[in-house]
Chains A and B, each alone.
Chain A
């Protein structure tokens, strides 16, 4: 190749490089979310609903199909494209890519409470205060309402909630004469007693799960994550965390937990045949039991979550809101749909399909509370679950980058589970990785 031509190639490469650099440089997300509290009225939303149009809705909730059908029947001018873009992280990856690309995302998306701060802070979500939705505060449970408020912004309306309770296999408990534990110490005793009576049976299964860990710390009164603007404080060794690890270390190190991975085929089977005797999890679990653990019908019952001192206290586990994307071309219509879903006629089909709502009126309605559930041997389980939703410990917040935190949980706390070492050591490693990440991403993160 002749020298001049090579020069030309180099020049072309350099030009290409510069243009990509320029592209990369302008792709920074909105960096100042929710600085001013914008409150508006619902007029624009009502008008958009009357005018009609087409919106796209990403969700994985099984209730969505019935809800969208009911909505379109009520508002024939509005067409909702229902898309299942994957469950949880799968959907978030796509959503994140769409946000990064500036287009291609839906108008409305389901986002779990733990993921909401991340999307809110990166400027992906519209502040619903501008449509006057802030007035709905009184209609929701305190914990779900605080989950959709980040900084001064309201970034979604709560759909379901997951106040935690103890689901236990009554057949197992009766067979081995084990009393339903009220405290965590009793829970550990029950674990020992059950496993001694039948070595194939375990009190529960846990191979390390970030969502469970944070919920357990939440219930123990911990506040490991604090965010104030750009400042992030992380303390995964606070008294709450210590309280929980003291109990859970006994179970992990005593090999009293089943190592069946949650949500695997085997896990469903183990829930059905009594090898996993309890689950400490969110109030949305009955729906899962009924659809996926048919063999357990009539065996299971629900009790309040065990506590450290016997006084009722719970935490949230899971649960999602519906949010309007900032890149939506029809934000008012999208907001109208969200309002209908979670603060209107959408709640009924949601409950009918087994969902656990976050609207207090529905939670406390006699028809909801007094429904005897045949799966749970006729127990009025909603009484236990609604009571749990009122007992959720206050003041919790997730990290603004909780999704990332959860993704590296296996590298840190997972090792404690794997090696049977103190969970607290894993939590410390998690904390230091999270502090580093926060500082790399523009926060001022610190331990303690």
Chain B
């Protein structure tokens, strides 16, 4: 039994990599993931990845931020200590708009980014799970789980056919763990 854990098809051109994905899919080879130095538009549809739901999170955080600050300002300025400023109403809604807007934006920004980091497991100090060091530089890498996907030579040929400049048979999933 081969000790290969992952097969990596390294492309130097994003279009060729897309061809590689098509070819693998035509041959029913499941793709583990794709690592690229830049976002590839249209790849989600091809790999059947659902749309991101971060927009909903952003909306909810925005609503939360606006509600929190408006309630607080209402409590401060109307309920707890209403001030008589020339007999004008204490509940001066137009005056509350700037801070309400700012906190809506603040909560949206921090909430969305925190959700993104949480969902993607990004945080300071997380060990990078790198399969190929050049995937953040100039290589577009298709990763295929070697287990159960045989014969490996066929997969290699498919990747080469699509234009892969290098096909790696890695014994470890993450090369970054070696250091």
Chain B binds chain A: no
